[in-house]
Amino acid sequence: MNYQLNEEEKMLQKTAADFANKSLAAVAVESNEKGEFQDDIYKQLGKLGFLGMTVPEKYGGVDFGNFCLALSIEQISRVCASTAVAISVHNSLTNWVILNFGSAETREKYLPLLASGEVLGAYALTESNAGSDIGAIQTSAVREGDNYILNGSKLFVSTGDKAGVVIVFARTDTENRKRGLSAFVVEPDFPGFSVGKPEKKMGLKASSTVELVFEDCVVPVANLLAEEGKGMLIALSALDGGRIGIASQALGIGQAALDEAVKFARGRVQFGRKIIDFQSTKWKIAEMATKLEASRLLVYNAARLRDSGDISTKHVSMAKLFATRAVNEIVYDSLQIHGGVGYTSEFLIERLFRDARALEIYEGTSEVQKLVISREVIKEYDRILPD
Amino acid sequence: MKIIVLLKRVPDTEAKILINSEGSGINEEGVKFIINTYDEYAIEEGLKLKENVGGDSTVTVVCMGPEESTEIIRTALAMGADNAIHICDAALDNPTPDMTATLLAKAIKNNGFDIIFCGKQGIDYDMAQTQAFLAEKLDIPQVNIISEFAISDDNKKAFLVRSIEGADEKVEADLPVIISCNKGLNEPRYASLPGIMKAKRKEIKKLTLTDLDSSGVPAEKDSTIIKWLSLPKSGECKIIEGEDFGEKVVELARLLREEAKVL
Amino acid sequence: MNDVLIFGEIRDGNLKKVIKELVTAGRIVTEGTGGSIDAILVGRGASDLSESISGLGIRKTICVDDDQVEKYSTEGYAKTLSDLIAESSYGYILFGATAMGRDLSPRVAARVGGVMFSDCVDLRFEEGRCIAKRPVYSGKLFVEIVPVGKKPVFITLRPNNIPPAESDGGKTEMVSRPSGVTEDMIRALATEIIPMAGGRPDITEAEVIVSGGRAMKDSSNFEILGELADLLGGAVGASRAAVDAGYSLQPLQVGQTGKIVNPKLYIACGISGAIQHLAGMRTSKVIVAINKDPNAPIFEKAHYGIVGDLFEVVPALTEEIKKLL
């Protein structure tokens, strides 16, 4: 299956696959077991250009776009989905937001550092009382002269303790739920910035997830993105890219789960037959492969739509909803084919099973995707049907 | 310095190789083709040499093979090679080492060369002959299966280590020289994303037999494959049962001694 | 063109044992052509060493032992051989498929206009033509190949594939010959040979190989394989996964991107049996697999298998074999 990849896309896919199979595979098992974040892997990814995939050349990036980013995340996730978390956040959230909403000065200051991988980017949106409901964000930003003073704390910040640049969403207007949010570029060196406790997660263990705490954190006015009150708009417009990233992780995990299932079933003998010869196994394999293929078409299409500049929100949410649900079914069936050993950490499927679970939750739960999709679909009908 | 790297397109090492239904070669269906594994070490060594020597050094990739070889040539360019020569002609059907070397020699002479890197063998026919035929035609020394490479300050002498049975052999060679590379020589780089972008704009010079003037190329093949053979089916494996590993090893040792007679 | 020339390789003052297998191959050819077998020994001590192959059915052993060929050089040795071939009428020139043979043979073939078959594992002579069997695709398949036309045929023969020749009581004439090499002809010269540490035989020549895979988990764990290998006078090998993970060294790698081996006994420990590994060891006479995973593909190629933890099984096996030997 070629998915109409052109020569560059094929080469990029091969580089991502080679990197995953060699460099990443060499450390993936251990770093997931120990829950260690692999700094060196990101240094290498930066050198290869994977951390500037949506950044133009003039800022030191390689503007391959969202589709190529999806291809890359898919290949990386086949081997280590944790590693793909930071790639996705860095490219489609941090870099993208600075590129689209930063001033010329902000772009020139931060994008070359980020695109080369010299520093990693993080994205601090979620709070204890503001998950899907970002209008409930309580972290405050108060202007004092040339600075904003931030107070509050953020949860579930991927790579928050490793990042050199964090996009922080805070409230500049306590009255207006929607238009009271603003976004800031924050460096960990700013006074009042601290890293809180790391989360003990079920999966994605080689990715670090921390709390960030802001206590009278001083952020220069120049680091405000766009203008005050644009926070909600920024958060929502970045989400499409982020969601493609998560959906692409689903493709990689799903592919690995299918690969593992077939490999295992070809070797495992029960009742004197290879279990791949049992109809119950074959049907599972058919279902898994079909779900994976459907997911891939949805995700690739959404990514290409976003690259073409068309409004892609509905397609992106459909891709994320479907692919992240499908991958959970795929890992379930793959583990079932493995039987007892699949429930042990000796086999890769055990990690895939845990990693897949996060995908239906972060960057918009499946329930939120359904809200988005239904809203878009009903809006389309509203436009053509009589009131 | 003009650095030449030879490339060949071959089936993936992970591929299962089966004989085609006519029994006249391999079944290519579903087989992924890649850069000959050992050639990757040659590319890396060529690029490293260019980086060390600096100046106006160039790395030129020379590949003889079907149209589809463009893909591996582009990969080598994305890794950092400067330009490429692709000898491609429908009339070339599994050329012998002598034919291949004659054509390569013509192209390389036209381009100019100071050093040539190649893989120690193609992982398809595994003949490891082309480099020697090429060396003879270019009248230069050859050093095969190298695991270390260094060059003198005046770029006139190469210091090499080549792997022989149970030992390393140190070799000194005058340039120009052809060097065949073994795994372990270096860690080939990945084609980076900026490299992939740049590769688009690099030149691949296509040469046909007419372009190369095929005089001196043997017209007839000097050998022919009369039969392709699959490996004999391996027998059933005797899985040794036992209460614990202690019992199992006693039984295994007995079988190795009494049945297989290898102890 | 009916005569055969075999090349005797001298290494560390010894003649490589593959020479007796080359004599057997030479007999296969001359039984077809009716010609005779000559041998050429090049290097220090050639004359003394020629004794050891006297009476194997060799007509004449040509010894070349001057300063210019004391150390190996492709060009010096190629000059020596090609001069001899040019003034004789050898139709078949046989080498061992060793590092030297594989380096030298194609260069001489190129110089004298020969055709070459690399790494042959078997030869036969039928209907006036020599049919060579050789592996392709790293041993995943074999081909039978024949020469076309009148070029001299160069063959490198893999060690341990055909039986060594026994003495036939005949007489071998010994002649000395100058190399004809001058210093200016040699542009690449072997200056020094550094043996690999460990003192174990090379995996391409060993009769027993104990190999470890990724499951070895660490380079220090290879010692338990070393103990078994030493007990059996064998070598220690490794899979690509083990080499890539840094547990073992590239010269010990068995498989498509490593060495092709052909021992009497191959013991695969914690090796799953990837296609590219199997390609390197499947022709071993007896294969033993020790692996925790009963589904590992290695069991499909093995003759004997133990499903179990190599860290328990291998030391126990070493102890058990100690009792037997």
Report the residue of chain B nearest A8, measured CA to CA: B196
Q: A155 with A169: CB under 8 angstroms? A: no
Report pLDDT for C262. Answer: 86
CATH superfamily of domain region B2-212 = HUPs (3.40.50.620)
Answer yes or no: do B192 and A10 touch at CB < 8 A: no
Q: How many CB pairs under 8 A join B and C?
A: 254
C-alpha to C-alpha distance for B1 and B176, rounded to whole angstroms: 10
User: Under CATH, what is the fold of the domain A122-228?
Assistant: Butyryl-CoA Dehydrogenase, subunit A; domain 2 (2.40.110)
Q: How many CB atoms lie within 10 A of CB C218?
A: 10
Report pLDDT for C198. Answer: 67
User: Under CATH, what is the fold of the domain C208-324?
Assistant: Rossmann fold (3.40.50)
pLDDT beyond 60 at A1: no
pTM of the model: 0.89
Answer yes or no: do C188 and B226 touch at CB < 8 A: no
Report the residue of chain A nearest C214, measured CA to CA: A26
pLDDT tens, position by position, C141-190:
999 999 999 899 999 999 888 999 988 777 889 999 999 999 999 999 99
pLDDT tens, position by position, C84-95:
999 998 999 999
* Domain boundaries, given as residue ranges, for chain A: 7-120, 122-228, 233-384
Report pLDDT for C304. Answer: 94
The beta-carbon neighbor of C295 closest among A22, A26, A268 is A268
Residue range C297-309: mean pLDDT, rounded: 91
Report pLDDT for A255. Answer: 98
C-alpha to C-alpha distance for C44 and B106, rounded to whole angstroms: 39
C-alpha to C-alpha distance for C141 and B232, rounded to whole angstroms: 10
Q: C308 with C292: CB under 8 angstroms? A: yes
- Is A199 one of the annotated active-site residues of the chain? no
Domain A7-120 belongs in CATH node 1.10.540.10: yes
CB contact set of A153 (below 8 Å; sequence gap of 6+)? A127, A128, A139, A196, A211, A212, A213, A214
ipTM of the complex: 0.91
pLDDT beyond 80 at C199: no
Q: What is the mean pLDDT of chain A?
A: 94
C-alpha distances out from residue A147 to A144, A174, A186, A224, B34, Å = 5, 18, 12, 9, 56
Among residues of chain B, what percentage have pLDDT more than 70?
A: 99
Domain C3-185 belongs in CATH node 3.40.50.620: yes
* Domain boundaries, given as residue ranges, for chain B: 2-212, 232-263
pLDDT tens, position by position, A365-382:
999 999 999 999 999 999
Name the CA dihedral angle for C7, C8, C11, C17, rounded to a multiple of 10 degrees. 120
What are the backbone dihedrals phi and psi of residue B215, each rounded to the nearest 5 degrees, phi first?
-65, 140
Q: Name the helix (H) or strand (E) containing A177.
A: none
pLDDT tens, position by position, A327-359:
999 999 999 999 999 999 889 999 999 999 999
CATH architecture of A233-384: Up-down Bundle (1.20)
* Choice among A74, A350, A360, A363 that is catalytic: A363
Q: How many CB atoms lie within 10 A of CB A289?
A: 16
Q: What is the mean pLDDT of chain C?
A: 91
C-alpha to C-alpha distance for A147 and A192, rounded to whole angstroms: 13
Answer yes or no: do A267 and C244 touch at CB < 8 A: no
* Domain boundaries, given as residue ranges, for chain C: 3-185, 208-324
Residue range C183-204: mean pLDDT, rounded: 86
Q: pLDDT class for B185, splitting at 50, 70, 90? A: very high
C-alpha to C-alpha distance for C242 and C194, rounded to whole angstroms: 24
Asked if the C-beta of A273 comes within 8 angstroms of chain C's C-beta atoms, the answer is no
Q: pLDDT class for B16, splitting at 50, 70, 90? A: confident
